[in-house]
Amino acid sequence: MDKIYRVKMGMGGRYALEQDGGLYWLEGSIFGDYHTGMLIEDTPMKFTAPVLPSKIIAIGLNYKDHAAEMNKPLPAEPLVFSKPSTSVIGPDDPIRIPLWAGRVDYESEVAVVIGKRAYNVKAVRAMDYVLGITCLNDVTARDLQHKDVQYTRAKGFDTFAPMGPCIAVGLDPSNLAIEGWVNGEKRQSSNTDQLIFAVPELVEFVTRFCTLVPGDVITTGTPSGVGPLKPGDRVMVKIAGIGALSNPCVEA
Ligand code: MG
């Protein structure tokens, strides 16, 4: 299975493709035709977020056990909110914790990267519009989420959407083990077979009201076990078939 990485280069990045254990420069477009180029031998290198989405559409309360821990009823249809593109950071980039905002939580999530412009897509065709799957940490200022009616501020701080380390192309999102770790301790453990609304239904639901363009992201919600982060912590989202997204936390 292909894994697409974006290698940091100056202010931007260049795509690389992992195939059979080797890392190669990617030739072509990740949203069109691409193939492997030269083998990359000059490691180590720094990876950035694999895409810069025009928008992140996030799903809330999509695991029964998480809805229970938040003392909220199960939603009858997907609960959606968005995170701004300015919240995106890459692997190992620091999450900046605003101490004035109160409690700030990690939320380990499986995220879907859109590969083709999608509007009014039926669930049965949804995976034709998905490029692949990545890890996302839906970092949340929990006290502000409870205080504000809307989620925009609580979910929208700069650095509150770590993404990566890669896009696993063609990975079936229906049965993926997902874990959340803080400072080497496992805090979250579930599987996407526990999602209330699965990925194809989410693509149908979201594209019924807005167009998704290549690089946009749907993040599917977090399982139970969310908890606070503080400066000095290191948080990791781990998903089978993708890898680990690890970020340090610093004071904003
Ligand atoms: Mg979330």
Of 41, 44, 36, 38, the residue nearest 17 (C-alpha): 36
The rounded Å distance from CA 19 to ligand 1 centre is: 31
The rounded Å distance from CA 10 to ligand 1 centre is: 31
Regarding whether 148 and 178 lie in a shared domain, the answer is: yes
The yes-or-no verdict on residue 43 having pLDDT over 90 is no
The rounded Å distance from CA 36 to ligand 1 centre is: 34
Cross-strand pairs, 58: 81, 219
Regarding whether 58 and 182 lie in a shared domain, the answer is: yes
Domain residue limits at 176: 49-251
Whole-number Å distance between alpha carbons of 190 and 23: 30
Q: Tens of pLDDT along 155-170?
A: 999 999 999 999 999 9
Q: Tens of pLDDT along 107-163?
A: 999 999 999 999 999 999 999 999 999 999 999 999 999 999 899 999 999 999 999
Regarding whether 125 and 73 lie in a shared domain, the answer is: yes
Whole-number Å distance between alpha carbons of 141 and 228: 9
Q: Tens of pLDDT along 98-107?
A: 999 999 999 9
Regarding whether 167 and 103 lie in a shared domain, the answer is: yes
The rounded Å distance from CA 9 to ligand 1 centre is: 30
In single-letter form, the type of residue at position 214 comes to P
Regarding whether 151 and 28 lie in a shared domain, the answer is: no
Residue 6 near residue 48 (C-beta atoms within 8 A): yes
Regarding whether 173 and 134 lie in a shared domain, the answer is: yes
The rounded Å distance from CA 153 to ligand 1 centre is: 14
Regarding whether 117 and 15 lie in a shared domain, the answer is: no
Regarding whether 90 and 168 lie in a shared domain, the answer is: yes
Split into its structural domains, the chain has a count of 2
Q: Tens of pLDDT along 233-246?
A: 999 999 999 999 99
Regarding whether 13 and 119 lie in a shared domain, the answer is: no
The rounded Å distance from CA 47 to ligand 1 centre is: 23
Regarding whether 193 and 74 lie in a shared domain, the answer is: yes
Task: Tell me the average pLDDT of the chain.
Answer: 96
Backbone angles phi and psi of 44, in degrees to 5:
-80, 165
Whether the model pTM is above 0.85:
yes
Regarding whether 125 and 34 lie in a shared domain, the answer is: no
